[in-house]
Structure 1
Amino acid sequence: MTFKRLAALAGAGVLALGMAACSSTGGAPEGSEGGSGGGTVDTPRKTVAMITHEVPGDSFWDLVRKGAEAAAQKDNIELRYSNDPEAPNQANLVQSAIDSGVDGIAVTLAKPDAMRAAVERANAAGIPVVAFNAGMDSWEAMGVKEYFGQDGFIAGQGVGERLQSEGSAKALCVIHEQGHVDLEARCAGVRDTFPAAEILNVNGKDMPSVEATITAKLQQDPSIDYIVALGAPFALTAVQSAQNAGSTAKIGTFDTNAALVDAIEGGDVQWAVDQQPYLQGYLAVDSLWLYLTNGNVMGGGAPVLTGPAFIDASNIDAVAEYARGGTR
């Protein structure tokens, strides 16, 4: 199995890009080393709102935000980042951005039906909207100009094929936010190519509950030999759950962070599916600058894929430095 083959079937391409910088309004962070490089553009100052479904404490969004801030620094953009895990509140944040007169909006569409009206109001106000990370199947119908992310279903299919190749008999796919369209697409993809996968819903806002729920499931069903987490913090929690339950189940996951790199190097986690969150944040902001200043639209009406790709012991050295630097 290769993700390239699966993605080709969907007729999509993959972009790769590496940058580094961080600040809450698009400038360089205090005490940061290096930077995004290349200076800044001389186009007029623009304001972009980025609104996500981030759950506080999920390190994935630190990477998204760093990418967005690097692009904002380069593009002379004031970046206004806000987040709420509840879709109605996220829609209210979009409305607040509209009311404040921002020049562009970048938004995640984890629960697209709840976001539809807010996106329509932004379009009616003449504010361009791009989407990233979640909403692969909804963005175009909602009038969103561009989409950046991975195809969750294709990524899940690749995981299912890997489970087969590793000889797994039964896997557990752990969804940490019920109703999140991309997370559900990932597990659906896993089950498409590996039917012996069971879905377990947990409360991702309560990590002790996540640990207890996975532990109880492993104790209840010793035949589970693989746990597929959908985020790095949940994979690390699954490692603890397996230990608690006395289970020998292996752990794979979607997404990375510095601690997960250590876990792959140490053998506690077998692999991670990388969708390049830093790149998603970077492209979302940079694409709005390109549209606002030059009328450019990326993708030709198709999503711009930032993944997926496997990271495991065979190639972890290629990304470890960047992960520990907070950009992978």
Structure 2
Amino acid sequence: MTRVRTGVRVLGAVLAAALGVSLAGCSATGGKRAEDARKQAAAEGRAAVTTPRWTFAMVTHSGAGDTFWDIVQNGAKQAAVKDNINFLYANSDEAQQQAQLVDSYIDKKVDGLIVTLAKPEAMKAVVAKAVKAGIPVITVNSGAEQSKVYGALTHIGQDETIAGEAVGDELDERGRKKALCVVHEQGNVGHEQRCAGAKKTFGGTMENLYVDGTNMPDVQASIEAKLQTDKSIDAVVTLGAPFADAAVQAVQSAGSEAEVDTFDLNAKVATALEDGKLGFAVDQQPYLQGYQAVDLLWLYRYNADVLGGGRPVLTGPQIITGADAAKLKDFAERGTR
């Protein structure tokens, strides 16, 4: 009987030891997997905070097919995932319709609004309505001068006048004498400020050319016709990355020797800079504009934090040349520069 009990105890001990090793292995494996998953989530920006799931809406003046705003949205969406935000987006290049979209989000009682003020007067009343309703507002990209006056927490973007002045200085350094500033959206205060800033510092002469930015063949044809008429133009400056390629095509078709330069950066612009088809680009970091807008709204809702001290939070300008483009090309191709 003693031997049987002893045998049972020994067998039990062996099984317990084996089970313990097995459980420890499972625990270690499971723990490692959980830790790996946590690290991966953090790396991808998916490690959400534990604050309430607020809803933020962004309404911009973007027209159809403008890749610049895809980059802004990529930044905003990344920050929204990190901050546990339900992110909504709408756009219209018609000022009144943009205001109506903002108004609809106010009616939905969103927890925060991000808006552009390309045509500020059309947006003034609706931004005031949002502020009165207790919805915090941050402006991005355009409208830095009106942002604080209208009641927004802060503005995120580049100073368009300073960006234009940087272009004028760069054109001088490159020895240019006569430039064309291609305005693809009439009435956009930011576009006018860019061209005016460039004229201010440029030692040569600069003329504005107004085109229909929603019709790319028209953009190319208008630039080509101007270059054929005036052979003294030695620089063409476009105010958005999608229009740079049309300008390059126009220069080639017109048989012109003009250099094409542009505001903003995307994958095509980075490649064209590297290949020498473009002289330089002015980067205002649109990804950062979207990311910071969502992040700063979250900080305000969570901790009443406001960045900038009442002054715009600048994301540009930065002059990008072919040498710089090689370093940024990978980021541009993934849609973050």
TM exceeds 0.5?
yes
- Find the counterpart in structure 2 of residue 136 from structure 1: 144
Question: How large is the Cα RMSD of the aligned pairs?
Answer: 1.3
**2:124, 2:193 → 1: CA distance?**
19
Secondary structure of the residue aligned to 1:300 is coil
Query: Which has the larger displacement, 191-200 or 118-127?
Result: 191-200
**1:153, 1:191 → 2: CA distance?**
10
Secondary structure of the residue aligned to 2:44 is coil
CA shift, 1:34, in A, is 10
Alignment partner for residue 289 of structure 2, among 280, 294, 297? 280
**1:38, 1:57 → 2: CA distance?**
28
Q: Does 1:70 align with 2:78?
A: yes
Secondary structure of the residue aligned to 1:299 is coil
Q: Does 1:93 align with 2:93?
A: no
Cα displacement string for residues 293-323 of structure 1 (whole angstroms, at most 9, x for unaligned residues): 1100010111000001011122112211100
**1:255, 1:206 → 2: CA distance?**
19
**1:233, 1:303 → 2: CA distance?**
26
Structure possessing the higher radius of gyration over alpha carbons? 2
Q: List alignment gaps of at least 5 residues for structure 2.
A: 1-40
Give the letter aligned to residue 301 of structure 1.
G
Secondary structure of the residue aligned to 1:68 is helix
Alignment partner for residue 294 of structure 1, among 295, 303, 308? 303
- Find the counterpart in structure 2 of residue 191 from structure 1: 199
**1:282, 1:180 → 2: CA distance?**
23
**2:196, 2:94 → 1: CA distance?**
23
Q: Does 1:230 align with 2:239?
A: yes
Cα displacement string for residues 136-166 of structure 1 (whole angstroms, at most 9, x for unaligned residues): 1111111111100000100100110111111
Structure with a larger share of its residues in helix: 2
Give the letter aligned to residue 163 of structure 2.
A
Aligned residues: 296
CA shift, 1:38, in A, is 6.2
Give the letter aligned to residue 306 of structure 1.
T
Alignment partner for residue 314 of structure 1, among 323, 326, 331? 323
Secondary structure of the residue aligned to 1:228 is strand
Evaluate the alpha carbon distance shift between residue 323 and residue 34 of structure 1 in structure 2; reply closer, same or farther with a 3 A threshold: farther
Instruction: Give the structure-1-normalised TM-score.
Output: 0.88
Structure number with the bigger relative contact order (C-alpha 8 A, sep ≥ 6) is: 1
**2:45, 2:105 → 1: CA distance?**
29
Alignment partner for residue 218 of structure 2, among 209, 222, 228? 209
Alignment partner for residue 104 of structure 1, among 99, 108, 112? 112
**1:148, 1:35 → 2: CA distance?**
25
**Kindly, what percent of the aligned residue pairs are identical?**
53
- Find the counterpart in structure 1 of residue 313 from structure 2: 304
Cα displacement string for residues 29-87 of structure 1 (whole angstroms, at most 9, x for unaligned residues): xxxx9963361111110000100011111110110000000010000000010000001
Give the letter aligned to residue 124 of structure 2.
R
**1:250, 1:202 → 2: CA distance?**
19
Secondary structure of the residue aligned to 1:42 is coil
- Asked if the contact 2:251–2:257 (Cα under 8 Å) also holds between the matched residues in 1, the reply is yes
Alignment partner for residue 130 of structure 2, among 122, 127, 133? 122
**2:294, 2:163 → 1: CA distance?**
24
Give the letter aligned to residue 65 of structure 1.
Q
**1:70, 1:268 → 2: CA distance?**
32
**2:283, 2:192 → 1: CA distance?**
17
Give the letter aligned to residue 199 of structure 2.
R
Cα displacement string for residues 73-102 of structure 1 (whole angstroms, at most 9, x for unaligned residues): 000000010000001000000100000010
Alignment partner for residue 272 of structure 2, among 263, 277, 293? 263
**1:306, 1:200 → 2: CA distance?**
27
- Asked if the contact 2:158–2:316 (Cα under 8 Å) also holds between the matched residues in 1, the reply is yes
**1:298, 1:108 → 2: CA distance?**
18
- Find the counterpart in structure 2 of residue 39 from structure 1: 47
**1:173, 1:105 → 2: CA distance?**
32
Evaluate the alpha carbon distance shift between residue 35 and residue 197 of structure 1 in structure 2; reply closer, same or farther with a 3 A threshold: farther
- Find the counterpart in structure 2 of residue 28 from structure 1: none
Q: Does 1:177 align with 2:185?
A: yes
Give the letter aligned to residue 255 of structure 1.
D
Secondary structure of the residue aligned to 1:45 is coil
CA shift, 1:263, in A, is 0.5
**1:138, 1:125 → 2: CA distance?**
19
Secondary structure of the residue aligned to 2:86 is strand
